[in-house]
Structure 1
Amino acid sequence: MKKQGNTSESGPQQARERILHAAMATFVELGYTEASTLKIATRAQVSKRELYALFGSKQAMLTACIADRAGRMQLAAQLPQPNHREELANVLAKLGATILREVSHPTVIAVFRLAITEAQRAPEVAATLDSARQATRSAVRDILAQAQSSRLIAADNLDDLSARYLALLWGDLMMSMLLCMREAPSTREIEHKAKQAAEDFMKLCTEPRR
């Protein structure tokens, strides 16, 4: 009986992982519109009934695929609150490295390309992806809000500051990957870019007047 219980508990999770893997592969291969739930279920070796029991719709599967990657970037809450400018630079560099590493992953880049390709036929793909992008911007914004509260940077508009930092972080890297002009950056390049972006950002952000 114990063995059956373990099978019952692990079965749905294993099926869920197979479905997500099959869904992403099918989305990338056929496009979101042409990727039917039947094709995904067949690829995942599950019934359509089981697929719909775990995911209510095709968009729900895409949302879960994106959320799985986005969840790996929920680092802001784990980072220490900076108490001085050098510590703020280190926190931004650490967060930046996480953003670059996760967003540069081939699966994530494939989703971006999918959103561009399906922009007219399936705008929900872009909408789902933009929700994940909002989470990244919020993580940066929260750190900068803490920095303003601690009077480490001037009280400029937080949305503008977040956009400025992310622009420094990415440069033309994203566009180059989307156009298949280059591969994802190496760990060493990621660390260098994240550190450089943090240093450049700190030079642009003045300290508040005492």
Structure 2
Amino acid sequence: MKKQANVESGPQPLRERILHAAMETFMELGYAEASTLKIATRAQASKRELYALFGNKQAMLAACIADRAGRMHLPSQLPPPSHREELAAMLSKLGAMVLREVSHPAVMAVFRLAIMEAQRAPEVAGTLETARQSIRTAVQSILVQAQSAGLIGADAPGEMASRYLSLLWGDLMVSILLRIREAPGKTEIDRRVAKAAEDFLRLYPEPKGRTHQRAPRE
């Protein structure tokens, strides 16, 4: 029984150790030059353990990205908004999470890595794009529900989601990637999400002929 307990508790610390070492090595040497031997050495693990957990270097990078993206806990199923004020609140809540998590230094480091390695290792950008798609999907899901509730018109949800994210970010991401500025704090995040929701609802007004429903008063 004691031996089994050790086996069950062992893999998690080892996996975390390898992912941490992999990310450090990728950032220090670049994806192409970060060998599995160097990663294993830094993680104080064997190459056999590394391959048993991840299979190859690309899968290791994918796991690094997925590990960070998984912390966002993006909502997959939400009750449809019943009025435009509620839609604005839902977009603002999701927008704040996106700004906070994506602008995290570790995530920005992954973006820089993808840019540096785009030619030599295009799979890096592909892996990152998969993680970014989860954000667009979450926004799109809210907008589809808003359309079903008659709160916005029948424009393409994917196009609207992209427009909302553009309003949310502006040139902020580029500035952070270039290290011109730091990640936004709570005050700026609150300001950005409020402005993005306001501008988005102005771009996509309530369909004509629908009876306007306001948020219920307390």
The bucket for the TM-score relative to the shorter chain is over 0.9
1:192 deviates by 2.0
Match of 1:169 in 2: 168
**Residues 22-60 of structure 1 deviation map (CA, whole Å, 9 limit, x = unaligned):** 111110111000000001111111100000000001010
Q: Which runs of 4+ in 1 moved over 3 A?
A: none
Separation in 1 of the partners of 2:188 and 2:9? 39
1:79 deviates by 4.2
TM-score between both structures, scaled by the size of structure 2: 0.92
Q: Does 1:195 align with 2:194?
A: yes
Q: Is the 8 A contact 2:80 2:149 kept in 1?
A: no
Answer 1 or 2: which has greater helix percent: 1
Q: Secondary structure at the match of 1:76?
A: coil
Q: Is the 8 A contact 2:74 2:135 kept in 1?
A: no
Q: Is the 8 A contact 1:20 1:64 kept in 2?
A: yes
Separation in 2 of the partners of 1:157 and 1:136? 17
- The AA in structure 2 aligned to 1:85 is R
For the aligned residue pairs, the C-alpha RMSD in angstroms reads 1.2
Q: Is the 8 A contact 1:74 1:139 kept in 2?
A: no
Return 73-82 or 62-71, whichever deviates more: 73-82
Match of 2:61 in 1: 62
- The AA in structure 2 aligned to 1:102 is E
Separation in 1 of the partners of 2:191 and 2:180? 20
1:196 deviates by 1.7
What residue ranges of structure 2 are gaps of 5+ in the alignment?
210-218
Separation in 2 of the partners of 1:154 and 1:71? 32
- The AA in structure 2 aligned to 1:81 is P
Return 166-175 or 130-139, whichever deviates more: 130-139
1:75 deviates by 2.1
Separation in 2 of the partners of 1:191 and 1:26? 35
- Percent identity over the alignment? 69
Alignment of 1:115-130 (within 5 A): 115-130=114-129
TM-score between both structures, scaled by the size of structure 1: 0.96
Match of 1:33 in 2: 32
Match of 1:16 in 2: 15
Match of 1:153 in 2: 152
Q: Does 1:45 align with 2:44?
A: yes
Q: Is the 8 A contact 2:23 2:61 kept in 1?
A: yes
1:78 deviates by 5.6
Count of matched residue pairs? 209
1:106 deviates by 0.5
- The AA in structure 2 aligned to 1:185 is P
